[in-house]
Amino acid sequence: MGELDGVRIGVTAERRADDLIGALLRHGAEVRHAPTITIVPLADDPELRRGTEAVLAAPVDLTAVTTGAGFRGWLDAAEGWGLREALLDALAGSRIFARGPKAVGAVRGVGLREEYSAPGETNDELFGAVAEAGVEGARVALQLHGAPLPEFTDPLAAAGASVLAVQPYRWHTPPDPAPVFSLIREVLSGELAALVFTSAPAATNFLALADETGHGAELRETLRGGTVVCACVGPVTAAPLEAAGISTLQPERQRLGALVKLVVAKLG
């Protein structure tokens, strides 16, 4: 008997979904997998290449790294274009700011060194530190993840920075949203005990797809009621839900293992 026997949980992740689903199944959960986003393959992303070439066009003053996976993916893509060493050289000459341990690990893994790591692993801390470093007249390379962050990048540009944003992982609505629509129906019918989110874009698009079905308001009201646990890997992932007035459950450590343990403790 597992702690989650008979507990039905919706998983919205695409990346590393197998790891998350496997962990929940080992605890006995019934899992409904409905990826709410699909990732654009790096090698097929001309926008990433153009952004990389823009970074290489002149010396970089500051670099912000938001995710370890995104940073490594950026370097992998650059290697495919024959630009990896040039990119590493450009970033090595800049002041590097990282959003937490995973980003730090990716930076140090290629022989670079960060000047700052956000203690709470949040974008607020990361971009606040970049702004405080002085960006007027500076070329600032920003490795984003999944979607633009105008609420952070626009103030840097307004402060006089030349903002060079790259998105190693861009996302779109999945080609077949039917599983997501089914997941929404299960939420509304009271069949799900929890939803698990591992990225902010996944949470954002879950709400957007609910709006497409005409049940967006009803879904938000149901989730605000607290009968369905919305478990998020961290505050960045939780932000779109919290902005909609939906309470979330988050582990102290922003890791999949910690997220699973928290779900088990809450619902077991």
- pLDDT, one tens digit per residue, over 62-77 is 999 999 989 999 999 9
Measured CA to CA, the distance from residue 227 to residue 240 in angstroms comes to: 19
Which pLDDT score is estimated for 146? 67
Does 26 score more than 80 pLDDT? Answer: yes
Same domain, 150 and 195: no
Mean pLDDT (whole number) for 192-221: 96
Quick check: is 17 in a domain? Answer: yes
Query: Do residues 58 and 131 both lie within one domain?
Result: yes
Take residue 152 and report the two structure tokens written for it: 């952070």
**What residue has token string 């370890």?**
68
Query: What pLDDT does residue 148 have?
Result: 81
Residue written as token pair 């690990």: 105
Mean pLDDT of 113-130: 95
| Block residue for tokens 């990716």 | 106
Report the pLDDT value the prediction gives residue 85, as an integer from 0 to 100.
Answer: 97
Last residue of one domain, picked from the residues 171, 195, 218 = 171
Task: Looking at the structure, tell me whether residues 122 and 225 fall in a common domain.
Answer: no
Does residue 253 carry a pLDDT above 70? yes
- The first and second tokens of residue 192, run together, are 């799900």
Above pLDDT 90, what percent of the chain? 81
Q: Please indicate, yes or no, if residue 238 is contained in any of the structural domains.
A: yes
220 and 250 assigned to the same domain:
yes
Residue 72 shares a structural domain with residue 129:
yes
On whether both 74 and 192 belong to a single domain, the answer is no
pLDDT above 90 (res 88): yes
pLDDT at 41 over 70: no
Residue for token pair 């980003």: 103
Task: Please tell me the least confidently modeled range out of 34-48, 106-120, 230-244.
Answer: 34-48
Domain that holds residue 205: 8-37+173-267
The sheet carrying 194-197 orders its strands as 30-33, 8-11, 194-197, 229-232
* DSSP code for 32: E
Of the candidates 84, 92, 90, the one whose C-alpha atom is nearest the C-alpha of residue 57 is: 90
What is the pLDDT at residue 43? 67
Are 93 and 211 members of one domain? Answer: no
pLDDT at 198 over 80: yes
Burial status of residue 216 (CB atoms within 10 A of its CB: 0-12, 13-18, 19 or more): middle
Assess whether 103 and 127 both reside in one domain: yes
Does a structural domain hold residue 226?
yes
Work out the mean pLDDT of the chain and round it to a whole number.
93
Which helix (H) or strand (E) element contains residue 10? strand 8-11
Q: What is the mean pLDDT of residues 197-221?
A: 95
The total domain count for the chain is 2
pLDDT at position 149 over 80: yes
Q: Is 149 helix (H, G, I), strand (E, B) or coil?
A: coil
Interatomic CA distance for residues 131 and 109, integer angstroms: 26
Residue with tokens 């654009």: 40
- Greatest CA span in the chain, whole angstroms? 62
Residues 27 and 52 in one domain: no
Count Cα atoms within 13 angstroms, Cβ side, for 260.
19
Residues 47 and 160 in one domain: yes
* The last residue of a domain, from among 147, 171, 195: 171
**Domain end residue (candidates: 171, 205, 229):** 171
Q: Alpha carbon 114 to chain centroid distance?
A: 21
Residue with tokens 């607290």, as numbered in its chain: 226
pLDDT above 90 (res 230): yes
Q: Is residue 203 part of a domain?
A: yes
Q: Is residue 2 a part of any domain in this protein?
A: no
Please give the structure tokens belonging to residue 213: 């079905």
Q: Lowest-confidence range among 37-51, 166-180, 200-214?
A: 37-51
Residues 262 and 242 in one domain: yes
Confidence check: pLDDT of 170 > 80? no
Residue type at 88? L
Contacts of 38 (CB under 8 A, 6+ apart): 14, 171, 172, 173, 174, 175
Query: In this structure, what CATH number is given to the domain that contains residue 154?
Result: 3.40.50.10090
Inside any domain, residue 167: yes
- Tell whether 61 is covered by a domain: yes
The CA dihedral of 149, 153, 155, 161, to the nearest 10 degrees, is 180
- Domain match, 50 and 163 both: yes
In a domain, 3, yes or no: no
